[in-house]
Amino acid sequence: MTKSLTIRRPDDWHLHLRDGDMLRAVLPHTAAHFARAIIMPNLVPPVVTGAQAAAYRDRIMAALPRDADFTPLMTLYLTEDTDPADVAAAHAAGLIHAVKLYPAGATTNSASGVANFDNVSKTLAKMAEIGLPLCTHGEVTDPSVDIFDREAVFIDRVLDPIRRSHPDLRVVMEHITTSDAVDYVKSSTANLAATITTHHLVINRNHILAGGIKPHYYCLPVAKRESHRLALRAAATSGDARFFLGTDSAPHTDANKLLPCGCAGCFTATNTMSILAEVFEQDGALDQLEAFTSLNGPGYYGLPVNDATLTLTRQAPSYPPHIDTPDGPVTVFDPDMPLNWSVA
């Protein structure tokens, strides 16, 4: 039985840090284990220009613990008014590493997102020209489409037409939740990859709804049926370089989660690596953990693999049930299973 596992230090290719007091409270939990992270731009107001991305990066760096070694990889929020020249300049300066597409109204702070995709065609063309990835929140917001079908419909109605119109555009399907998305990535010949969250490897929709509503398992995209969860696990543990970790760790205070209309998001930054080690061991794939967390993402984004390492030991970890913030407690994701791996 393996008692310890040392891997290259991991990265998180989809992370919400928020701002202000919340940023200062949650950032140390990511920086403790992860060397880099793709930072989501859906603040209020959103990060839509290079200047705003630079200012946000400065606030993140100011919030880092003094001894932390962490690099935020900034993104811009795509709107119908995004200036392609500003995107290109921010990319050329090494400031941004992706642009994020939110369909308007799809998730937290997405009201400024895209409603008419024809209006972003020039920006997408410029991104394809300069090799800048588009990260997608892959759900349609058509109220006639069932919430459990919105990812599959997004592929057909939005993503596939975008990729046909811009074949050189590099795309990351973020936080995929269905076998449809897994199959779509596998069928692609070039330029397409996907992130998978920690929580979608662990929970299905029963965790949210069976035996009473459990708001701390509610996220967007919402967890799907068990067959989809198993497809995600097979993809994550396969070693396929097109799949890599993006936690989508999304902090909300308990007061904002436990409402008649509560916020979507699971806060997993604290215990992700212990959970992933458990998942990969359960599936007989501990030897693929490093690829999923530390190798595949840098490979897709064209960045070097981290020199530093992280060691996991076979020892039951102890994590707090919540973290304290000035605005109130944030519940740490409960994987609903015993954990047997700790970060040394």
Amino acid 83 reads: D
The pair of structure tokens assigned to 91 is 């990319």
The pair of structure tokens assigned to 162 is 């975008």
d(CA 181, CA 136): 12
Closest to 198 in 3D by CA, of 136, 266, 151: 266
For residue 248, indicate whether it is catalytic: yes
Amino acid 19 reads: D
d(CA 243, CA 310): 20
The pair of structure tokens assigned to 280 is 């990969």
DSSP 326: T
Q: Are 193 and 295 in contact (CB under 8 A)?
A: no
Largest CA distance in the chain: 56
SS3 278: helix
Q: How far is CA 279 from CA 201, 237, 330, in A?
A: 8, 9, 24
SS3 134: strand
The pair of structure tokens assigned to 171 is 């795309």
Closest to 223 in 3D by CA, of 135, 139, 148, 335: 148
d(CA 159, CA 7): 34
**Checking DSSP bridges between strand 309-314 and strand 243-245, what pairing results, if any?**
unpaired
Please tell me which residue in 248, 254, 283, 324 is annotated as part of the active site: 248
- Give the residue numbers marked as catalytic: 248
